[in-house]
Amino acid sequence: MWRKLSEHPDTNAVGSCVEPGTLTTWRDLDEATIQEVLPLPEFCIEHAFQGWWMVRTQACMVRSGLVNVREARTLRLIGQLEFLEINLSYTSGSIETWAQQIEIRMFGGWGLIAGTMVQGRATCTGACAATRSTFPPQLVRTGQDEEGEAFFDTTATVPGSVGRANTTFTYDFFNPAWTLQPPPFQADPPEVRCDNALPGTTQAGCVFVGYTPVMIYDLAGAFPELARHIGDAQQSGLPGAYPNGARLSRLIDPVLQAANRTRACPDASAGGYPRPPGKSCDEYPFASTNQGAATQVPRGPARTFPYCQINEPPGSGPVGYSVCMIDEIQNSVGGSVLGSFYNSNRVLDQDQFYVWITGGGGGGFPAPIRPSDQPPSVNAGPDVAGDEGSPVQLHGSASDEESTPTIRWTYDARDDVDEGTTCTFGNPNAANTTITCTDDGTFTVTLTASDGVNPPVSDNATLRLANVAPTVALTGAGNWQPVQAGTAVPLTAAITDPGTNDTHTCSIRWDDGTTTTGPAVNRTCGSGHTFASPGMFTVNATVADDDGGVGQSEVMVIVYDPDAGFPTAAGHLNSPPGAITAAPTSTGTAHFNLNPEYGPHDTGPEPRGGKVQFRVDSTTFDLRSAALEWLVVTPNDLFAVKGTGTVNGVAGYSFVAYGYDAQPDRLRLVVWPLSSGPIPGSTLTYDNRRGASYDLDLANPQPIDAGSIQVHN
């Protein structure tokens, strides 16, 4: 475990003091054994116990740690070892290798710690290879440093290439007397960027990219006139001032650089500024920056200062540029120094930097910084479940201390997902969003966050989607629609399934002894059917998807034949309790008289002749037909007739009467208000066989008590 210490009893002994940005020596990379470790830069001592700190080519950290020794069976604490971890990672802008060294220094402890050893290993991720790593087992003793060292080579060596890498030193404390091994410790320096992308050189180099480099000009140095102009330009509001100004960013394109110079310092021959003897025109921001005179956005006007010998007004604010005539040698050599700064600090195209004008006699060194841009934290949220084809809510989150990270959801289908399945996100760039998939199964959803500096960070959740059964709609003929026998009925089954990746198999039972089966085509089954004989046919379509879901739909097709014959019926039966909705306990003798008939040459479906009458004694129920809509007479002497009429003299009712010419003869009457629909439903006025099917074959009419029912074929 790590402990925060406000002070250490021997802080001055942590290392020698050197200036930031310099090392006493660069380790000879041909030597593979550990030498005496390099001393820490001064800024490491100043910021001890405050985490990692860095400049452009160095990063360091001093912290204290604590090893807890526990008995394996009871986890009882039986010892503690206190130590310092001293880290230095360093590189150079002119070499493609970087190094990490680590020192472990015990300064206290108690209990079962005698004989403790420490050893470590180095690894790297990204554009790198760990070429040499040395941290052999070493005895841990008070006042003695146990040391490790590793060297890493970049793989970004091809001209034009840029690569980033992260390194880790992992080390373990171990002791033969311990029965429970403590967890390992690790040290992770800031990210290193290496490249072979600087113009004018093929030498690769590496830097700590999280540190913004600083170009220093001193007012009492070799370029006082250049320094004065830049300092005054920054004071007037132009960008680049260290440490709080807006940063400059490098521009490598030579054509754009030339455009910046031409706009800022046009030649006198082209109507520009005359050059006094020994002077040349200096512009700020530099022509080699995106903030230059021609490439800045938005463009601003020129400004100058009284000593600059240029006829331009003064100005202020962040927009625009400054021009000044200065010593031509200072201008030329000072520009070359800027180029050297770019190279030594590996300032690539679009990289940011500062310019620091110090006040004379040297201004010190730019301050180190902590690796301020830490990777974002991301959470894909809990595992979720839902249905195929329906949006499922995802509850992710992502945050970053320094900025708002960009985020993106992605998904992967697992083995139980059918080929061809796709998913879409409501907003793939929102932490809280939805996902909709075209099939069921198990998916991994991944939320990835990026701050543009660190490698992207991801987290996963599991999405489980259930299959949804298809729904079926029979189209082409309405329910209870009458059609003439021998006429093709364009009845097809239209399939709706939220799982758009599902495939379907259909089975249509036509209720005349035939069934059509086969795969759906374009989510449709069947192409129609011709009924040879009259009847009331309950057509059933059953559709199964490839995941076991089943959907069904039924429709009644009324098939009539004007030449099939006609029924006659007269007599009476006992109307049972519950038949009359308005008087459910009423019973009585029901008298009926029916003689519907198609006339010669009728094509239907409405019969032109006949009537239907039905009256129940001792009640107020009395049906009389007003119009007939169709008549079905089957070859096996069954009939059904539908029409509209009055009940007790009040219009607005529809009925269907069923009759069987059988032994015994049978009759059923169903009456309902037209206001409830064109076919019988849940609202009935009369039915002497409540609950029975409305299909003629299954209508189960009531045996009559007297009279006869005859079907005349």
pLDDT digits (tens, 9 = 90+) for 640-698: 999 999 999 999 999 999 999 999 999 999 999 999 999 999 999 999 999 999 999 99
Percent of the chain with pLDDT over 70: 93
Average pLDDT over residues 162-185: 91
Confidence of residue 370 (pLDDT cuts 50, 70, 90): low
Whether 367 has a pLDDT exceeding 90, the answer reads no
Q: Which of 572, 570, 632 is nearest to 597 (CA)?
A: 632
- Dist CA 153 CA 98 (whole Å): 7
pLDDT per residue over 288-337, tens digit each?
999 999 999 999 999 999 999 999 999 999 999 999 999 999 999 999 99
**Position 222 pLDDT exceeds 80:** yes
Alpha helices in 135-276 (DSSP H): 224-235, 254-264
pLDDT at 523 > cutoff 60: yes
**Cβ partners under 8 Å of residue 21, min gap 6:** 41, 55, 56, 57, 58, 365, 366
CA distances from 98 to 146, 192, 208, 415, 654 (A): 21, 9, 10, 43, 94
- 3-class SS of residue 228: helix
Q: Is the pLDDT of residue 198 over 90?
A: yes
User: What number of CA atoms fall less than 13 Å from residue 520's CA on the CB side?
Assistant: 27
pLDDT averaged over the chain? 90
| Long-range CB pairs of 584-588, under 8 A, 24+ apart, other chains included | 586/616, 586/618, 586/619, 587/618, 588/616, 588/617, 588/618, 588/619
Rounded CA-CA distance 103/86 in Å is 5
Tokens of 385: 């479940």
Residue 29, pLDDT > 60, answer no
Q: Decide if pLDDT at 175 tops 90.
A: yes
Residue 5 has pLDDT above 50, yes or no: no
